[in-house]
Amino acid sequence: MSTSIVQIPFHSTSINAVMHEGKPFVSLRHMCESLGIDIESQRKKLNNKAWATAVLITATGSDGKTYPMTMIDRRTMTMWLATIDVNRIKEESRELLINFQNEAADVLDQHFSGAVAQAFDPASLSRLDILRMAMESETRVHQLESKIEADAGKVAYVDEHVDPKDVTLFRTVCRNLQINESDLRKALIYRRWIYVSNTYIMGGYTVKEYAAHHNFQAYFKVCKYHNKKTGSVTNRETLKVTPEGVAAITRFVEKLTKEYGSVRDALPHLEIKYNQRKGIAA
């Protein structure tokens, strides 16, 4: 069964949307094409975001044919648009991006307000339904309050030492930039952004810990290693990246790619310069 696409006029383009399970979803491909950005890279970005909701919906286009389309819900659309840097897209698309960021959610809500309101009609609820919903809500609130109180100490420790806000795992930065993690570590070592602070053997494998050189400490934060599957925290340390660091690493990767073709191709040149500096220092 397919769903008909609705084309909502929006400035110089349109928002292609459908109603799915009582909520409006928009076409990711159409928005990417309107902005002149690559859909595959954006799809990969969303696949790595815990907050993203993307579904494959078979929809009927204006030509009467059916197509499988990647659709994102309203919440995902607003958060995704906020991740796009206006300075990193074509100049002719920048005004449209700003309009999308400022107005798209409101336009979507305005168009589908009738359908959303119809999906849930409070007048259809009986007094028994209302009482049951109130009791369930009170029970959930009590459970959440108990959980918050029990975990308060653990949360405080994790926020401070393990998982502070606004930092990103190094491997996540590499995944988003679509580069090899080992290549980027070597490049940052050669450019003296980071260094190996500790090496030890664990389970038969050599484990390395990293720290940032003084001039680049604003880009990185050393955190305790947190195993999210078990919830355990160890004495191992891992280097995470701050928002400033993500921006700086992105610029660094772009520069190396422009000069040498890729980060990997740049490594021999960076290593030579690194060894020369070490020789002079010696």
What pTM value is reported for the model?
A: 0.42
Instruction: Check residue 107 and give its pLDDT.
Output: 82
Structure confidence by residue, pLDDT tens digits, 139-163: 777 777 777 777 665 555 444 444 4
* 220-227 β-sheet, strand order: 168-169, 232-241, 220-227
Does residue 208 contact residue 225 with C-beta atoms inside 8 Å? no
What are residue 12's phi and psi, to 5 degrees?
A: -85, 5
More confident residue, 266 or 282: 266
CA angle centred on 3, ends 16 and 82, rounded to 5°: 35
Instruction: Check residue 265 and give its pLDDT.
Output: 94
More confident residue, 123 or 181: 181
More confident residue, 49 or 228: 49
- Segment (H or E) for 239: strand 232-241
Structure confidence by residue, pLDDT tens digits, 63-74: 778 888 899 998
